[in-house]
Structure 1
């Protein structure tokens, strides 16, 4: 292990958490960072955040529902950690930066629709990190969040968004896990996880249509009230909120990349009435669709 990385690891050393059997349905809503050696995990687990793993040294192999994904030094992996996963194998010299992004935060960012859908549909994104994020940046983010400075923390959030946006500008590989397998240690919530994943998949493919909660619940053969409760308990966001966020993100992309009239964009994003689109867009972004379009076009010119 290189001397500078040894020093960094010593300064950021964390104890391996106790072994968890079954899912981790934690409700963490804050961005979090780690820099440590990855460790073998006997049991599958999951949680609600988007997980970014940046491997600076060594190699490791994940298992996602019995399907293996391997990354080596210089690579990174991005996935929605609600998919049951574990570290199956890791080299002794491995060193990894870990970023956990709250789901609401991830969905609020205007990232390419294809990338968001690949992540939310259970894909594991892998790519070379050397052009996307540096070891020094990872250390700086950890240090900034330890300080707890509000303005600098906001800047870090923006830099994480830009890191993912930069990732999308390069070639990356998406390993999709279309079939849901059962982990070796069955958990009472696993059927619930499968139903929520199917609902998320249905929303990803149909959010720009005039679908309702009843349609989503019917897709997984659940009563609407039970489907809403299950979704909220698993993801800490309601079906309605999630659907609106997906529609707003769709609209952001159209506003940034097309000259379509805003009324047409509202309709193409799944909003039945322009007034509901304007209200939802202002509520989620703090600005009107026209102001967002002007700002995004200015950033493109710069």
Structure 2
């Protein structure tokens, strides 16, 4: 597993070596340097017996762990989170985590979602912000996803059929929307490493986290790069460079992503006029909203509403 000194922005890359044990495939992970936001839009799936991890690790995707059998305990930055059979945990995996306890009969389904894909889905804004702020979501309702459905997703993933994989991606999004319709528990954690795992650039990571937090809370307001930089007491050019270096996306691009995601939720869940939705999502002019929305989704806001309206 990843050594404690591995950089914050690094990602697990699966290599070709696979161990077979009790007909379960264990992927050996090799750490490679990468920015926090990935350019890959593909989901990845595993299903296996979880194992104890001596060291913390972290990577850039949104991780969904579905426990089909047994019990499992995570250590998240030295705090404990437990799930039981039929439950799941959802979190942004830049938060240091490891499996600290696991029962002998445990069986775990793992879904890794690229952050760019997660931000593009139509999900409740509160849920997205909780995950982006370092929240670990654990379900309180069994049956959000079945073992047979998890198996089908895994088999489809390995078939490498682009059409079916696109359908699976839609189904994973719908599964998260289903989860949000039930009561769930949220525990908040800091992204920063504790103790021996700290890195000399933690100050930079902390400033990026503060910028992400400020954007999450204020993206639907008329904020600019200067406001975001002032919040962390940095020169705007330095703040832009730091943000771009760690997330591989500019502050302006990320701000637009969050605003469009906000607009998607309103378009799908309300009948508010589109010009009002543009304003409520942080776009000062309807024209800039239409242009940005079409650029990011290939649809006009009205076309998107027609395809996704759920009320």
* TM superposition score normalised by structure 2: 0.85
Give 1:171's aligned residue.
183
Give the drift of 1:180: 5.4
- Larger mean CA deviation between 211-220 and 145-154 belongs to 211-220
> Pick from 45, 55, 60: which aligns with 1:48?
60
1:107-256 paired onto structure 2 within 5 Å: 107-128=119-140, 130-177=142-189, 182-256=194-268
Aligned residue pair count? 290
Query: Cα deviation per residue 1:44-89 (whole Å; 9 max; x = unaligned)?
Result: 2221110000111222221222221111222100001111222222
Cα distance change of structure 1 residues 41 and 23 upon mapping to structure 2, 3 Å threshold: farther
The structure with the greater share of residues assigned to helix is 1
User: Does 2:92 align with 1:80?
Assistant: yes
Cα distance change of structure 1 residues 64 and 189 upon mapping to structure 2, 3 Å threshold: farther
The structure with the greater share of residues assigned to strand is 2
**In 1, Cα distance between equivalents of 2:140 and 2:177:** 14
Query: Cα deviation per residue 1:191-217 (whole Å; 9 max; x = unaligned)?
Result: 333222211111110000111122212
User: Does 2:296 align with 1:292?
Assistant: no
Q: Alignment partner of 1:38: what SS?
A: coil
Query: Cα deviation per residue 1:219-253 (whole Å; 9 max; x = unaligned)?
Result: 22233333333333333333222211111111122
* TM superposition score normalised by structure 1: 0.87
- CA-based RMSD: 2.5
Give 1:260's aligned residue.
272
Give the drift of 1:121: 0.8
> Pick from 106, 113, 124: which aligns with 1:101?
113
Give 1:6's aligned residue.
none
> Pick from 51, 55, 64: which aligns with 1:39?
51
**In 2, Cα distance between equivalents of 1:31 and 1:49:** 9
* Unaligned runs of at least 5 residues, structure 1: 1-8
Query: Cα deviation per residue 1:97-125 (whole Å; 9 max; x = unaligned)?
Result: 11100001000001001111111111000
